[in-house]
Amino acid sequence: MDAQENPLQRIVARCWEDEAFKERLMADPAGMLKAEGVEVPEGITVNVVEDTAQVRNLVIPAQPGRLADEQLESMAAGSCFWSDIPGCSDIQQPACGKLG
């Protein structure tokens, strides 16, 4: 699957290329995701954080059993957490373009 097939990968790639787009995404995640065709269900808050050379963010997924089975099935974790490879493209996100 390439960034053309996965809207979240496409959005991340655009952030790498377009600083103004990244700033808008960080300021209004839900609005920008919606504008890019990613459904954010009512009541879901999206936080956008950026890894840097000095800072890595660890996301702790919701505890199993607290999400519906279909929500768990749609979740995936990125595998680039400790990668020092520039432009790491191994971002694993739901291809359906839905969060939550």
pLDDT, position 98 = 56
pLDDT, position 70 = 60
* Stronger pLDDT, 71 or 38, i.e. the higher one: 38
Asked if the structure places residue 87 within a domain, the reply is no
How much is the mean pLDDT over the chain?
76
Asked if the structure places residue 63 within a domain, the reply is yes
Segment of 21-25, 60-64, 67-71, 85-89 carrying the highest mean pLDDT? 21-25
Asked if the structure places residue 84 within a domain, the reply is no
The region that residue 29 occupies, defined by phi over 0 for left and psi between -120 and 50 for alpha, beta otherwise, is: alpha
Q: What is the pTM of this model?
A: 0.61
Q: Count up the domains in the chain and report the number.
A: 1
Is residue 75 pLDDT above 70, yes or no?
A: no
Asked if the structure places residue 95 within a domain, the reply is no
Containing domain of residue 53, as a range? 7-74
Which ranges of the chain would DSSP assign to H, the alpha helix? Answer: 7-17, 19-27, 29-35, 69-74
pLDDT, position 62 = 85
